[in-house]
């Protein structure tokens, strides 16, 4: 199952693009699940349907649902609680799902929980997600870094079940003093966060389509968002611009493209109505948006190089990069965003190497 996320700051146009894509793909024979992230939902109103958290079959190849982040996170917490009965985490067992707070990035995490559940059913070829907004996606992507950092600093726990000597020596509470019954659920939670982020990785086949306007195309915040997606390994394959082609200048078109080592997304410029309509009309809008072709979510071509990571970062400014190593992790800072990366071989004493090739950042260990 492929994952296609529509993100962007213009909510109505973003939802319209997601619906048009889902209806068009379904009419071309793909089994599609269309999902809207909370707290605001537009796809039900635009389709004229009352949707809930359970998939509603709209036609043979199309189902839709509305994701409630609080309910999804709460249900996952209820599944984890039985393991929190012993040691330092035992008091967490008393916290019910009704007590959990909202937290930054929960829209993204809940969408990925739904994505995994849909994948396991085997009923769908494509999951089209309306949202979350870029800021929520970034916070969801950074959540596993925060969890791993907290566990390492507090207990000396590293990736997987490992406990490196460096982290153990610096831990506030040495892990040797902590019973295994306490460590296991903490590690499981950290690992789950990392699995969520891995599902958004471009190498896993996930894609983001950023819905924007002609005016926003010319502004630097859009380019900063694209750079952040690239730093986290998220592939933005298209910028969808619901507008007349004449509204986008030739100079703006020239900025985007894949030539010359650029990692920039392609432009899709087509008018798209945002008024409520039936599915036939939305399918027609999708056919116009994609010029009656396939929605073209490219399959994942995973090329794994041992001890190496390649990040395609649109509009990469090498002067804004700051790369350091601490506690056996690579810390890459790009302006105000920092990502923590684990590279195989670094903990065994390998030497970090980095190189910028156009808009590709290569990190490897010798």
Say which CATH number the domain at 358 has.
2.60.40.790
Question: 115 with 46, same domain?
Answer: yes
Question: 207 with 314, same domain?
Answer: no
CB 191 within 8 Å of CB 160: yes
pLDDT at 302 over 60: no
Q: What residues are paired with 268 via a beta bridge?
A: 240
CB 289 within 8 Å of CB 17: yes
Q: Give pLDDT, residue 321.
A: 95
The phi and psi torsions of 212 (rounded to 5 degrees) equal -145, 180
Identify which of 21-30, 131-140, 203-212, 334-343 has the greatest average pLDDT: 21-30
Cα 146 to Cα 76, 151, 217, distances in angstroms: 19, 9, 32
Question: 97 with 64, same domain?
Answer: yes
Q: How confident is the model at residue 297 (pLDDT cuts 50, 70, 90)?
A: confident
Q: Give pLDDT, residue 160.
A: 44
DSSP state of 189: H
Q: Give pLDDT, residue 189.
A: 72
Question: 317 with 198, same domain?
Answer: no
Question: 31 with 62, same domain?
Answer: yes
Question: 205 with 328, same domain?
Answer: no
Across the beta sheet with 352-357, the strand order is 308-312, 360-365, 352-357
Residue 153 lies in a domain: yes
The count of domains in the chain is 2
The per-residue pLDDT for range 58-73, each reduced to its tens digit, is 999 999 999 999 998 8
Residue 10 lies in a domain: yes
Residue 183 lies in a domain: yes
Question: 133 with 206, same domain?
Answer: yes
Q: Which two tokens stand for residue 197?
A: 């982020």
pLDDT at 234 over 70: yes
Residue 231 lies in a domain: no
Q: Which of 134, 128, 70 is nearest to 99 (CA)?
A: 70
CB 352 within 8 Å of CB 325: yes
36-45, 97-106, 251-260, 309-318: range with lowest mean pLDDT: 251-260
Residue 207 domain boundaries: 2-211+272-289
pLDDT at 74 over 60: yes
The per-residue pLDDT for range 170-214, each reduced to its tens digit, is 666 666 666 666 667 777 777 777 887 888 887 778 899 999 999
Cα–Cα distance, 325 to 203 (Å, whole number): 24
Residues 6+ apart with CB under 8 A from 218: 252
Q: How confident is the model at residue 275 (pLDDT cuts 50, 70, 90)?
A: very high
Q: Kindly state the average pLDDT of the residues 95-113.
A: 86
Residue 57 lies in a domain: yes
Three-point CA angle 327, 333, 336, nearest 5°: 130
CATH code for position 48: 3.40.50.300
Cα–Cα distance, 320 to 211 (Å, whole number): 26
CB 74 within 8 Å of CB 67: no
Q: Which two tokens stand for residue 17?
A: 């693009």
């Amino acid at each position: 199952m492929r994952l296609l996320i529509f993100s962007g700051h213009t909510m109505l146009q973003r939802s319209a693009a997601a619906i048009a894509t889902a209806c068009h793909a379904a009419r071309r024979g793909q089994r599609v699940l269309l999902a809207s992230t909370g707290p605001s939902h537009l796809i039900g109103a635009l389709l004229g349907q009352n949707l809930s958290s359970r998939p509603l079959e709209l036609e043979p190849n199309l189902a839709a649902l509305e994701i409630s982040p609080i309910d999804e996170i709460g249900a996952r917490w209820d599944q984890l609680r039985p393991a929190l009965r012993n040691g330092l985490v035992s008091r967490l067992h008393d916290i019910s799902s009704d007590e959990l707070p909202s937290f930054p990035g929960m829209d993204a995490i809940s969408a990925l929980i739904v994505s995994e559940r849909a994948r396991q059913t085997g009923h769908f070829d494509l999951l089209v997600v309306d949202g979350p907004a870029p800021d929520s996606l970034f916070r969801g992507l950074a959540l596993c870094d925060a969890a791993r950092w907290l566990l390492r600093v507090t207990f000396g726990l590293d990736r997987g079940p490992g406990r490196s000597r460096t982290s153990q020596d610096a831990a506030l509470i040495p892990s040797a003093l902590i019973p295994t019954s306490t460590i296991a659920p903490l590690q499981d939670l950290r690992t789950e966060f990392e699995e969520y982020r891995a599902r958004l990785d471009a190498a896993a086949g996930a894609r983001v389509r950023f819905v924007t306007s002609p005016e926003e195309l010319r502004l630097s915040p859009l380019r900063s968002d694209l750079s952040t997606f690239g730093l986290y390994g998220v592939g933005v394959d298209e910028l969808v611009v619901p507008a007349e082609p004449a509204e986008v200048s030739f100079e703006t078109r020239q900025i985007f493209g894949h030539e010359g080592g650029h990692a920039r997304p392609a432009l899709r410029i087509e008018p798209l109505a945002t008024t409520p309509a039936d599915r036939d009309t939305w399918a027609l809008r999708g056919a116009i948006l994609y010029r009656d072709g396939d929605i073209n979510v490219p399959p994942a071509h995973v090329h794994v190089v041992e001890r190496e990571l390649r990040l395609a970062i649109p509009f990469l400014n090498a002067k804004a990069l700051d790369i350091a190593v601490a506690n056996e992790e690579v810390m890459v800072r790009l302006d105000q965003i920092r990502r923590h990366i684990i590279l195989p071989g670094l903990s065994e004493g390998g030497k970090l190497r980095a190189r910028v090739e156009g808009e590709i950042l290569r990190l490897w260990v010798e």
